[in-house]
Amino acid sequence: MSKPQLILVGGGGHCKSVIDVVEASGQFSIAGLVDTRDKLGTTLSGYAVIATDDDIDALVREYRYFLVTVGQIKSSALRYRLFQLIKSQGGLLPTLVSPRAYVSPHAQLGEGTVVHHQAFVNAGARIGVNCIINTASLIEHDAQIGDHCHVSTAAVVNGDCRVGDHCFIGSRAVLSHGVHVAPSGLIGAGAVLLSHTEAGGLYAGNPAVLKKRVS
Ligand SMILES: CC(=O)SCCNC(=O)CCNC(=O)[C@H](O)C(C)(C)COP(=O)(O)OP(=O)(O)OC[C@H]1O[C@@H](n2cnc3c(N)ncnc32)[C@H](O)[C@@H]1OP(=O)(O)O
């Protein structure tokens, strides 16, 4: 039986990583990419850019499955907008897990969330919709990650942590067990976060402190 076709929305560097996960999982065939008008007709990892954001309503009539594949560091706004656009047009956003990741059968993942190679999601963890659980990150037991978050490469979210919606956890950051990251927060790369944060703050360093407000 042929595999269901998947459209990837956003054709930058992060998309290359998602393509790798899609290919490794073998669950979908990639029908094409959506990107900006100047990229139409170009290819990424061998897949053609076939449409722009403006064409999503037409694409939803032809294809069922979509993933948001733009990256997210300082703001989740673009990933959020694209997720809402696809859903409002009736598109489906599957959950995708690399065969080289581990997700406990006692963990939950929301729609449109991608778990990349070597990531580990332990028992009782709950991850929201449209999240990036990036390469080699670790989400420990009973941790909760909100919607539209990016847990970056090799970051560690320890047991019972709570990460609000629209957060970014930088590469190799460590969240001490039980720490709460308030919504729309940024945790800098390499930070060691020992206490709860206030909404919309950038925290960095070891121990991590509030560096500035971002929203
Ligand atoms: C596959 C992939 O590539 S996934 C993506 C991986 N990338 C990352 O992990 C992102 C790394 N970037 C960061 O960590 C940045 O802190 C960001 C993006 C979260 C925030 O960046 P900006 O908003 O530009 O912060 P800005 O540069 O203004 O820094 C504000 C202050 O925090 C400090 N700061 C920022 N990030 C860090 C950090 N990671 N560690 C220590 N201090 C930091 C700055 O030195 C500055 O301090 P100062 O006010 O004393 O001069």
The CATH number covering residue 77 comes to: 3.40.50.20
The pLDDT of residue 204 is above 90: yes
Q: Write the ipTM.
A: 0.98
Number of domains comprising the chain: 2
Domain end point (choices 89, 115, 141): 89
Q: Please tell me what DSSP assigns to residue 101.
A: S
CA-closest candidate to residue 21, choices 124, 105, 135: 135
Same domain for 80 and 112, yes or no, is no
Same domain flag for 83 and 116 = no
For residue 1, pLDDT beyond 80: no
Separation of 189 CA from ligand 1 center, angstroms?
6
141 in active site: yes
Domain boundary among 41, 60, 89: 89
148 known member of a binding site: no
Among residues 73, 89, 105, which one ends one of the domains?
Answer: 89
Asked if 63 and 110 sit in the same domain, the reply is no
Residue 172 inside a domain? The answer is yes
Q: With respect to residue 135, please indicate whether it lies within any of the assigned structural domains.
A: yes
* Position 100 pLDDT exceeds 90: yes
pLDDT of 47 > 80? The answer is yes
Tens-digit pLDDT profile for residues 112-156: 999 999 999 999 999 999 999 999 999 999 999 999 999 999 999
- 213 domain-assigned: no
Residues 157 and 108 grouped into a single domain: yes
Is the domain of 37 the same as that of 103? no
pLDDT number for residue 126? 98
pLDDT, mean over the chain: 98
Both 135 and 161 in one domain: the answer is yes
Residue 24's domain spans which residues?
5-89
User: Are 109 and 155 found together in one domain?
Assistant: yes
Residue 36 CA to ligand 1 centre (angstroms) = 27
> CA–CA separation, 189 vs 121, rounded Å?
20
CATH number of the CATH domain containing 106: 2.160.10.10
Count of C-beta atoms within a 10 Å radius of residue 97: 21
Indicate yes or no: pTM above 0.95.
yes
Q: Whose CA is nearest to atom 48 of ligand 1?
A: 211
Q: Do 123 and 202 belong together in one domain?
A: yes
Pair 60, 27 in one domain: yes
CB distance 74 to ligand 1 below 6 Å: yes
204 lines ligand 1 (CB under 6 A): yes
At 36 the pLDDT is: 97
CB < 8 Å & 24+ apart, contacts of 203-208: 204/170, 208/173
* Residues 142 and 78 grouped into a single domain: no
- Per-residue model confidence (pLDDT) at position 3: 96
pLDDT given for residue 201 in this prediction? 98
Q: How far apart are CA 201 and CA 69, in angstroms?
A: 25
Beta bridge partners of 196: none
Assigned domain for 198 exists: yes
Catalytic residue among 117, 141, 166, 180: 141
Residue 214 within a domain: no
Least Cα distance to 96 among 180, 3, 167 occurs for 3
Residue 177 falls inside a structural domain? yes
> 14 lies in a domain?
yes
Contacts of 54 (CB under 8 A, 6+ apart): none
Considering the domain architecture, whether residues 70 and 100 belong to the same structural domain is answered as no
- The closest residue, in CA terms, to atom 47 on ligand 1 is 211
Q: Is 166 annotated as a binding residue?
A: no
Q: Report the percent of the chain where pLDDT is more than 90.
A: 99
Is residue 181 over pLDDT 90?
A: yes
Are 107 and 194 members of one domain?
yes
Average pLDDT over residues 97-111: 98
Nearest CA to ligand 1 atom 19: 188
211 located within any domain: no
